[in-house]
Amino acid sequence: MKKKYRGVIAVFAVVSIIYVLPVLAVAVNSFKKNTYVKTETFSLPTEESFAGTDNFVKGMTFGNYPFAKSALYSVLITVLSTALILLFASMAAWYIVRVNNLVCKIFYYLCIFSMVVPFQMIMYTLVSTADKLKLNTPFTIPVIYLGVGAGMAIFLFRGFVQTIPIEIEEAAAIDGCSPVKTFFKVVIPMLSPSLISVGILEIMWVWNDYLLPFLVLDITEYRTIPIHIQYLKGSYGTIDLGATMALILVSIIPVIIIYIICQEKIVGGVAAGAVKG
């Protein structure tokens, strides 16, 4: 039985190696001088083409905007937005399941509806609304993310809340817990696996999102990592490919490390999000 799969394992091993080659190519090229990235993309750095850490040093200040600042704003926006969405969407989903009156039903259908609407439909008017309400800074843009992302988060949380027996909450209420206390002390702990799954989906979305922050933020002042990298290519006729590769490497390494550490949770969370409904 085991022997039968030897060929399959060999094929998968080869395909796996091919699969990581693009990331390896970025890593190798980030140590090459600019002109060699294009002409000798697939060879290891030679004595002549080796750039040492020059690309990394240069990349940090490349494009008249410090990369560290972009990274900081990316972290800030991702953390704040994810926290807002997890807190308020789980609260709303619980309320919708427990009360389930007309307001809840209408709002829930609007949430589902919002999941189907492509971003291009709302982007132009969203930008003017965000400007008017001063939601155009990294500290306030999480409110926009809450509005855009609430639909899917509530949809997912609703499914999880439905599996919680109401009797447990009623017991807490009889013991004198107020509904707010019941939610935070009784419901939240039971929801924690789903908080992790939904949290992972939200982090992956906000961290990699390009268009929303690009349109809403004033990009001379605030950039995120995707905006930073797009800006390098977009505005420089002769870009430094070596430095760009170095920046791409710097921005994907933390993601890959986090992935390797908590891959079970990430893969599980993504699968839970995909098979929604």
Partner 1 sequence: MKKDNGLTIYQKSVKKWGWLFLGPVMLAFAVGFLWPFLKGLYLSFCDFRLISEAKLSGFDNYVKAFSDESFMHSFLFTALFTVVSMTVINLLAFTVAYFLAKEIRGMKIFRTVFFMPNLIGGIVLGYIWSTIFDGFLSMYETSVLMESKYGFWGLIIMLCWQQVGYMMIIYIAGFKNIDPAVLEAAQIDGANGRQTLLKIMIPNMITTISICLFLALTNGFKLFDQNLALTAGLPISMNADGTSIKTTEMMALNIFNTFYGQSSFGHGVAQAKAVIFFVLVSAIGIIQLKFTDRKKG
Expressed in angstroms, the distance from the first to the final Cα of the chain is: 37
**Among residues 44, 57, 68, 99, which is the contact residue for partner 1, using CB under 8 A?**
99
Q: Are 49 and 36 in contact (CB under 8 A)?
A: yes
211 binds partner 1 (CB under 8 A): yes
**Among residues 77, 86, 135, 152, which is the contact residue for partner 1, using CB under 8 A?**
135
CA angle 71, 76, 80 (to 5 degrees): 150
**Among residues 3, 47, 48, 101, which is the contact residue for partner 1, using CB under 8 A?**
101
**Among residues 121, 253, 261, 262, which is the contact residue for partner 1, using CB under 8 A?**
121
CB of 82 to partner 1, least distance (A): 14
Q: Which of 94, 80, 115, 110 is nearest to 164 (CA)?
A: 94
Hey, which residues between 161 and 190 contact partner 1 (CB under 8 A)?
Answer: 166, 169-170, 173, 178-180, 183
- What are the backbone angles phi and psi of residue 50, rounded to the nearest 5°? -65, 130
122 binds partner 1 (CB under 8 A): yes
Distance from C-alpha of 218 to C-alpha of 222, rounded to nearest angstrom: 6
Give the residue with the Cβ less far from partner 1, 135 or 217: 135
Q: Are 98 and 183 in contact (CB under 8 A)?
A: no
Distance from C-alpha of 44 to C-alpha of 96, rounded to nearest angstrom: 58
x/- mask, partner 1, residues 245-274, rule CB under 8 A, reads x--x--xx--xx--xx--x--xx--xx--x
Give the residue with the Cβ less far from partner 1, 118 or 237: 118
Could you give the C-alpha distances from 99 to 92, 94, 102, 122, 138, in angstroms and in order? 10, 8, 9, 30, 35
137 binds partner 1 (CB under 8 A): no
CB of 61 to partner 1, least distance (A): 19
Residues contacting 142, CB < 8 A, separation 6+: 77, 80, 81, 83, 84
Indicate the burial class of 79 (C-beta count within 10 angstroms; 0-12, 13-18, 19 or more).
middle
Q: Which of 33, 173, 159, 17 is nearest to 96 (CA)?
A: 159
Q: Within 13 Å, how many C-alpha atoms sit on residue 85's CB side?
A: 34
238 binds partner 1 (CB under 8 A): no
CB of 148 to partner 1, least distance (A): 5
Hey, which residues between 35 and 94 contact partner 1 (CB under 8 A)?
Answer: 37-39, 41-42, 84, 88-89, 91-92, 94
x/- mask, partner 1, residues 140-159, rule CB under 8 A, reads ---xxxxxx-xx--x-----
x/- mask, partner 1, residues 214-233, rule CB under 8 A, reads -----------xx--xx--x
CB of 66 to partner 1, least distance (A): 18
98 binds partner 1 (CB under 8 A): yes
